[in-house]
Amino acid sequence: MIKISDLKFGDMVLAEYEGQQREGMVKDVDRPEGKALVEAGGNEFWYGPGELYPIALNNEEMEKLGFTRHENGDGSAKYMKGSFRVLLPKKDDFSSLEVWWREDHRYLNQAISVHQLQNHYYQMTKVELMSAAVH
């Protein structure tokens, strides 16, 4: 379940309809009504927080977001998109990561989901991080 207040346009989420979850993109958020408009599978529907789920951040999702991966000799891995960086102290372990852009460094000591990374990216760069899968 995702809090509607955590969502913004462009965020990637799992939307559940009739017991099936589909990956989709948030197209609009109605905070007073507590719903998000999500485009999934070519259809747009309004979903409440009990019908929206986070997408786990992993290598595949990072690639969908346009990041390139570099494995470091110390067992860590760095993902790069322009001048934005995501460092995993242990490659393939997304339970702890460091993100930075210019002088803004953030240390995240818990796993985050795709929409949370998108929100960090936007807060830091003022540019939306969109999945290449929806373009």
Q: What is the pLDDT of residues 113-127, one digit of tens each?
A: 999 999 999 999 999
Question: Whole-prediction pTM value?
Answer: 0.92
How far separated are the first and last CA of the chain, in Å rounded?
26
68-93 average pLDDT score: 96
Residue 51 has pLDDT above 70, yes or no: yes
CATH 2.30.30.140 residue ranges of the chain are 4-53
> Among positive and negative, which fits the CA dihedral 42, 46, 48, 49?
positive
Measuring CA to CA, which residue among 126, 135, 128, 100 is closest to residue 114? 128
Residue 109 Cα to chain centre, angstroms: 16
Where b means 16+ CB within 10 Å and e means fewer, 20-32 reads: eeebbbbeebeee
Residue 132 pLDDT > 70? yes
For the ranges 32-36, 91-95, 102-106, 129-133, the lowest mean pLDDT is seen at 129-133
* pLDDT given for residue 135 in this prediction: 43
Is the pLDDT confidence value at 93 over 70?
yes
User: Which fold, 4-53?
Assistant: SH3 type barrels. (2.30.30)
